[in-house]
Amino acid sequence: MKKRKIIGLSLVLAISLGAAGFTKIQNDNYFDIVKNIEIFTHVFKTLNTNYADDIDPNSLMKIGIDAMVNSLDPYTVYYSESTIEKYRFQQEGKYSGLGGQFELVDGYVTIVDAVEKSPLIRSGFRIGDQLVNLEGTDLKGVSVSDFTKLLNTSDSESVNLQVQRTGQADLLSLTLREGEVKIDNVPYYTMVSDDVGYVILTTFTQNASANVKSAINKLKAENPEMKSLILDLRNNGGGLLNEAVNICNLFLPQGKLVVSTKGKVRERDQLYKTQAAPLDPDIPLAVLINGSSASASEIVSGVMQDYDRAVLIGQESFGKGLVQLTRKLVYNSQLKVTISKYYIPSERCIQGVEYADGKPVDIPDSLRSEFKTSNGRIVRDGGGVQPDIVMAESLESELLGALNKQHWILKYVNQYVAGQDSISAPQSFEWNDMTDFYNFLDQEGFSYVHSHEKALTKLRETKVNDTEAVHLDEALSSIAAYKKSLRQSDSEAIRKSIEEQIVSRYHYDAGKVQIALRNDDDVQKAIDVLNDQVTYNDILGKQ
C-alpha cells in the first residue's frame, strides 16, 4: 500500500515538474523527496484536523514554506498571492497600494512617511496623521498589521477614515482609495559644485539605466562646464541584473565583460557584456557605497573598481553575490530562488561566506583571496566591495535613537508644520531652534533609559556588598547629569534630523536628498578627489 502511494506521488511530481525536472529528481534520490512530501502532507492534515484551536490553513502553510526557504539563504523567498505586490515593486518600482509607512504612535496607527503623489497623499492624508476610526470601527490600540487586514477585508474600493491631525480641533473625515504607487529610482540629480555632477540611484528597477542616462545628459546640457560625476549607490539594495549591466555600459566601451554567473545547472551559466557604445567612457567618476549597498549596486561599483574606472568612496558594501530566478507557481504565487553566484571581471565573488541574523559576517582580509584590477591594484573577495577611500560611518546616538523610537521628532514636526503652509526650497531652508525643541520635550515629559543606566541597574540588582552598592548608587545618580549633557553633544545630529523631517513634509524624498547633500562628508570627499587629477589617477593606479 505504501509503495503504491509513493508511486502515485511520483507520477504527480513528474506531471508537475515535467520530464526534465523528474529526471533530475530521479538523479537526486527522488524516493527521499517523495517520502518527505508525503510526511509533510500528513503532518499538515493531522494538525488541521486535530489541533485544539482553529487553524488558518493559508497562514500555517505560509509559515512552513517560509521556514523551508529561510533555511537556505536570505534571498530565496516565497511570495504568496497576498504578498505579490512586494515582488512587483522590487521588479518594476511600482505596486498597487497606499504609498505610506505606518507605525503605532500613542495607541493609534500613524502615517510616519509617504511617497509623493501616492494614493495616500492624493486622498488628502498627510505625514503625521493619526487614524482614529475606520468605517465605524474604533482604531485605538489596533496594530498596524491588524489595520492592514481591516483594509484588505473591506469589500469597497474606498474606505472612510476619521483622522486626528495636529493643529485641528475636530477629526477630519477622509476617503482612502488604493491605487498605483510609483517610486522614482532616480529621485534627484544636481550639480554639487561648479563642475561636478551628482546622480542618486535608489533601486535597480525597470528603466534605471535609462533614467541615470537621462539625468547625466540633462546635467551636461544644462551645465556645459560639468567635468566629472558622482554616482550615489548608498542604501541601494539592488534589483535587476540587466539594469546593472546597462549602467556599467554608460561608462565602459562596448564588448567589455561585466559579470558572469555560475551555478549548479551549468546550462544556466552566462556571461554579460556591454552591448552598446558608452555614454561617456572618459568622464572622471566617483561611486558612493555603504553597508546597505547590495547586489546590483555591488556589481556596478565592483566592476567600476575592477576596470579602474571610478574611485569608490564610503563603507564596505553588504556582500550579496547571488543571482535569483523567479518562477511562477500555482494560485498566483511565485518563488524567487537563488540559482547561482556572480563573478565580476577580476573573477572575484563578493558574496559573504557566513551569515548571522540574515547579514553576512565580516571576514578579515587575511582570510580573503586576492585578485587584481586592470591596473594591478589588489582587491579581495568573500564579503562586499571595499571602497578605495573608507569614510567614517555616521552612527545614530542613543539620545537620537530614543527620540525617533518614541516618535518625539515626529510629534514636534507635526506642531511645526501645522502653522506653516509652505517652506523655502530644500537647498535654502534652515531650522535651528533647539531651545524650543528641548522645551517641548520637557513639557511633554520625555524620558529614556540609557544603556549605561541599564547596565548599572542590572549590576545593582545583583548581590553586592554595602561599599559597592554606595558606589553604584552614586554612579546611577550621575547618569541624569550625563544624559543631560548629551543634549549638547548630540544637538547637531538632532537638529539635522528635525530639519530633514520638516523638509520631507513638503518636498518628500527628493527634498530629503537635497537637504542631506548640504552636510554630506562622502560627497565632499568625492568632490575633492574628482577636482584633484593627480590624486584621482594615483588612487586608480594610473601611470
User: pLDDT value at position 29?
Assistant: 67
Q: How confident is the model at residue 75 (pLDDT cuts 50, 70, 90)?
A: confident
CA distance 236 to 203: 5
Instruction: For residue 133, report the phi and psi dihedrals to the nearest 5 degrees.
Output: -150, 135
Q: Is residue 195 predicted with pLDDT exceeding 60?
A: yes
Rounded CA separation 253/230 (Å)? 19
Distance CA 141, CA 144 (A): 9
Non-local (6+) Cβ contacts of 477 within 8 A are none
How far is residue 529's CA from residue 535's CA, in Å, rounded to a whole number? 6
Is pTM beyond 0.85? Reply is no
Backbone angles phi, psi at 68, to 5 degrees: -65, -50
Question: Is 269 strand, coil or helix?
Answer: coil
- Structure confidence at residue 434 as a pLDDT band (50, 70, 90): very high
Q: Is the separation of the CB atoms in 429 and 422 below 8 Å? A: no
Share of the chain above pLDDT 70, in %: 90
Instruction: Give the closest residue to 112 by CA, choosing from 70, 153, 144.
Output: 144
In angstroms and rounded to an integer, the radius of gyration of the C-alpha atoms of the chain is 27
> What is the residue type of 432?
N
Cα–Cα distance, 275 to 291 (Å, whole number): 30
Average pLDDT over residues 283-291: 97
Average confidence (pLDDT) over 48-68 = 83
Domain 188-393 has CATH 3.20.20.80: no
Query: For the ranges 104-108, 153-157, 310-314, 371-375, which has the lowest average pLDDT?
Result: 153-157
Rounded to the nearest integer, the mean pLDDT of the chain is 88
pLDDT confidence tier of residue 25, bands split at 50, 70 and 90: very low
Cα-Cα-Cα-Cα dihedral of 122, 124, 129, 132, to 10°?
Answer: -110
Is residue 176 scored above 80 in pLDDT?
A: yes
**Which position has the higher pLDDT, 464 or 436?**
436
pLDDT of 507 above 90: yes
Closest of 440, 273, 418 to residue 344, by C-alpha: 273
396 compared with 90, residue with greater pLDDT = 396
> In this prediction, what percent of the chain has a pLDDT beyond 90?
58
Q: What is the pLDDT of residue 104?
A: 97
* Local structure of residue 81 (DSSP, 8 states): G
- Greater confidence, 28 or 351? 351
pLDDT digits (tens, 9 = 90+) for 219-230: 999 999 999 999
Burial of 486 (0-12, 13-18, 19+ CB in 10 A): middle
Q: Give the DSSP H/E element, type plus range, for residue 457.
A: helix 451-460
- In the predicted model, what is the mean pLDDT of residues 82-89? 53
Give yes or no for residue 15 having a pLDDT over 50. Answer: no
3-state secondary structure of 126: coil
Question: CA 430, 432, 435 angle in degrees (round to 5)?
Answer: 160
Least confident of 16-20, 214-218, 459-463, 503-507: 16-20
Instruction: Summarize the chain as % helix, strand, coil (round to 5).
Output: 45, 20, 35
pLDDT at 86 over 70: no
Domain boundaries, the chain: 2-81, 94-182, 188-393, 398-448+490-521
Q: Which residues contact 454 (CB under 8 A, 6 or more apart)?
A: none
Grid coordinates representing 508 are 518628500
Please state the rounded mean pLDDT for residues 235-253.
95
Give the model's confidence band at 50: pLDDT under 50 very low, under 70 low, under 90 confident, else very high: confident
Residue 249 or residue 471, greater confidence: 249
Question: 304-343 pLDDT, tens per residue?
Answer: 999 999 999 999 999 888 887 788 887 778 888 888 889 9
- Separation of alpha carbons 112 and 236, rounded Å: 21
Domain 94-182 part of CATH 3.40.50.300:
no
94-182 and 188-393 in the same fold: no
